[in-house]
Structure 1
């Protein structure tokens, strides 16, 4: 499984890179703050909403600590998606939130 640290994600966003961020936390967790531009697809819905994702794009999976996003990363990898897990999740995120 590919991983990326939160500081690298923050740097890429600051440089204007267009990242496809998928936040797999529950809706109430996301309401407390998410990375600007991240799309919320709770982990329990990933298999039902994977058709919303494009196999030709890269995705960075995010959750609270990195565990659930790791599960989502492994699942989507097995389906042929290009996905990377953000290590440490939102607990390690020091950037802005919306």
Structure 2
């Protein structure tokens, strides 16, 4: 499924609707962090819990080192993999999908930050 295609737009709409009906109220606030700050924290040796919500092909093409892959559409069914006592930094291509994931998780009591600008703003190392 190519980004920008009609199928991709329909898919994203379905994901947003399903996440909304699973308890989202679209009024939740979440914190944001820049790609630069994430990179600096990693360089300093800080252990970060990064969740990459992009699709399989995007993740395979390159990701922030150490990022765990949970596509946006799979978050509800893989929620059991996350710990409410940890802070997660959500990552996608531009910050939009990770923003949706951040909002949805925040509403359920998870500590999350959205990496604004996503991989488009990432200048650090890339893991493949």
5+ residue gaps in structure 2? 1-29
The CA distance in 1 between the partners of 2:95 and 2:76, in whole Å, is 18
Counterpart residue number, 1:67: 96
Query: Alpha-carbon deviation of 1:64?
Result: 0.2
Q: What's the TM-score, normalizing by structure 2? A: 0.76
Counterpart residue number, 1:55: 84
Identify the structure with bigger relative contact order (alpha carbons < 8 Å, sequence gap 6+).
1
Counterpart residue number, 2:121: 92
Query: Alpha-carbon deviation of 1:86?
Result: 0.2
Counterpart residue number, 1:45: 74
Q: What's the TM-score, normalizing by structure 1? A: 0.99
RMSD: 0.4
Cα deviation 1:48-69 (Å, max 9, x = unaligned): 1011000000000000000000
The CA distance in 2 between the partners of 1:62 and 1:86, in whole Å, is 6
Counterpart residue number, 2:62: 33
**Which residue of the other structure, out of 55, 71, 76, is the alignment partner of 2:105?**
76
Cα deviation 1:3-61 (Å, max 9, x = unaligned): 00000000000000000000000011011100110000000000110110000000000
- The list of structure 1 runs, each at least 4 consecutive aligned residues, that deviate by more than 4 angstroms after superposition, is none
The CA distance in 1 between the partners of 2:46 and 2:77, in whole Å, is 28
